[in-house]
Amino acid sequence: VPSSFYDAVIRISNRLEAAPPGSCLFLLSAGLSNEDILAARWLARQVEASVCPIDFSGAPAARRAVRTALGRNYSSRSFQTLEQARVIWVFGADLDNYPQIASRLTEAESNGARIVSFDTMAGPLRRGRKTLQVSLDEFDLLPLLLQRSVLERGQVSPTAAAAPGFAELKARHADRSWHPSISGAADETISELVDPFLASSDSAVVIGERWLTAGRHAVERTLQLVQAVALLGAEDRIFVAAGEANSAGLFDLLPDAEADLTRMARLLDGDASGISVLFVCGDDLLRAAPYRAGLQKALASVETIVEIDRFPGEVCRLADVVLPSAAFGELDGTVTNMLGTVQRWRRVVPPPGDARPERDWFGLIARRLGDDAWPRTPFEWWTTEPALDSPYRVDRLTPLYQGTDWVQWPFREEEEPLALVPPRSSVCSPVSEDYPMQVIFTRHAANWMPGGWSSRDEILRRESIEAFINVSPQDLEEKGIKSGGRVKLLTPDGAAVFPARGDSRVPRGLLVLAEVPGDNELPKSVLAVSDSGVAFQPVACRLEKV
């Protein structure tokens, strides 16, 4: 119902005052400025609410793994390191959404770099590039094989050999009864890959979203991979291609967000119990989620939904209150990129109409609730959080606001030493006879991150990619299905019909489902919840011709 924004703020404030403690949830986009994130955290504390990032890229899993092994949030120091690398390993990465990394990879290739892709999907065959296809179940084993190969050569980096936990890790691999193996990666194959990496002093590693989101063990798998790279002495040259380019501040500034990820999982699973007021800030949640069947049901049952966004989206149709926020170029503040560099944003033009940054809307609500101490400028936000890590200390951010600098490089003098953790397990899940295939959930490159924006334009929406299943051409031929024909996807929890497309990059036995519509009956078991994030795990399935 149209109303003034003043009335909308009063309505939101009244709902927050009436809400039971702990029943309010803030969902924050990775595209928010650092100051907007701090403001959301301030208001959430005031109303005893939870805060959770809108992220399905695996970025929290990468953060947890890097922090555990290296004692810091960021592993790489400069994109120039990637350009100059002579050997590059790429693990489960689609780089269409990461031009910062893809362009450096292309530059490295043009300089003669050897690039090896470890993935379940076959990548483009280019000069100097090799793809080692590994099944999703075997993703967990690959880092262990790499660790063993390095240890057997006795060429461990001095830093890793002196690290706490190295003796335990070495003893674990010395146990001959515990030696994982991968069908597509024999020991000699791994050796052929490890030797050039060891021989080069300019090696680098890229870890992508498919690696970080496939299954429940993303943190453990990534931790062991980071440790394998540390054994090789390249722990400062790991690049994580996950999340939005300038989204790292969301995870830096919400250290307690991991505890609230189960609430996001319940929403995705169709359960909104215990949530009376829901803020969705800076993103269209229904566009962002790769799997939306339960999410629509959950949102429909929430008493009050407040959407704060730059453009109208699917959530707006379910929201009780919609507030317009400012877009890039219309706000002042900072963002943090994937290397941990804090960068200054400056307003170029004022926001149109009543639009304003998220923090200004939060401020109107907070003052209505009696908070008169709300910061008035972007810089004042940093004085409210004196315990933040070094890149966010007031003395180091002051030059950004005084105009004497425009970036604040991450500081490393406070980092902890390398610490190694022995691997937990090396057992793959058994294959079901009734459901011998696996389906993974993803987005087409045209719809993933830019889809949340471009789909809101009528012309660009015509170009959006509809739901379909990518299938190995051999699997289609075996079942008598033509590419473009409709197939039934059956899982232990449900079934749905989609058009199928033959894709030579997809190995036999694997299905890749892009653009899952919100009205299907697909499985609840797709959700894998851990203390590091919500992943969309591979699901056992079978395929039938319609």
CA distance 324 to 441: 31
CATH architecture, domain 437-545: Beta Barrel (2.40)
Q: How confident is the model at residue 231, as a pLDDT?
A: 95
Supply the pLDDT for residue 248: 84
The yes-or-no verdict on residue 225 having pLDDT over 80 is yes
d(Cα 139, Cα 80) in Å, to the nearest integer?
28
Q: Computed over its alpha carbons, how large is the radius of gyration of the chain?
A: 24
Q: Where are the domains of the chain?
A: 5-57+246-408, 59-241, 437-545
- Residue 320 — very low, low, confident or very high, per pLDDT cuts 50/70/90? very high
Mean pLDDT of 501-529: 68
User: Could you say which architecture CATH assigns to the domain 5-57+246-408?
Assistant: 3-Layer(aba) Sandwich (3.40)
| Residues 128-158 pLDDT 10s | 577 777 777 778 888 988 998 899 889 899 9
Does the 59-241 domain belong in CATH 3.40.228.10? Answer: yes
Identify any residues that bridge with 512 across adjacent strands, giving them in sequence order. 440, 470
Top pLDDT among 414 and 108 is at 108
Model confidence at 465, pLDDT cuts 50, 70, 90, reads low
Q: Give the pLDDT confidence score for residue 448 in this predicted structure.
A: 43
pLDDT of residue 350: 92
Q: What percent of the chain has pLDDT over 70?
A: 80
Q: How far apart are CA 351 and CA 358, in angstroms?
A: 12
Give the predicted TM-score (pTM) of the model: 0.85
What are the tens digits of pLDDT across the range 418-440? 889 888 755 455 567 888 888 87
Mean residue pLDDT of the chain comes to 81
Write out pLDDT tens, residues 390-413: 778 888 888 888 877 666 665 444
Q: How far is CA 7 from CA 147, 316, 324, 374, in A?
A: 61, 18, 14, 20
210/96 Cα distance (integer angstroms):
13
Residue 510 has what pLDDT?
A: 85
**DSSP element (H, E) containing 42:** helix 34-46
Give residue 451's pLDDT band: very low, low, confident or very high (50, 70, 90). Answer: very low
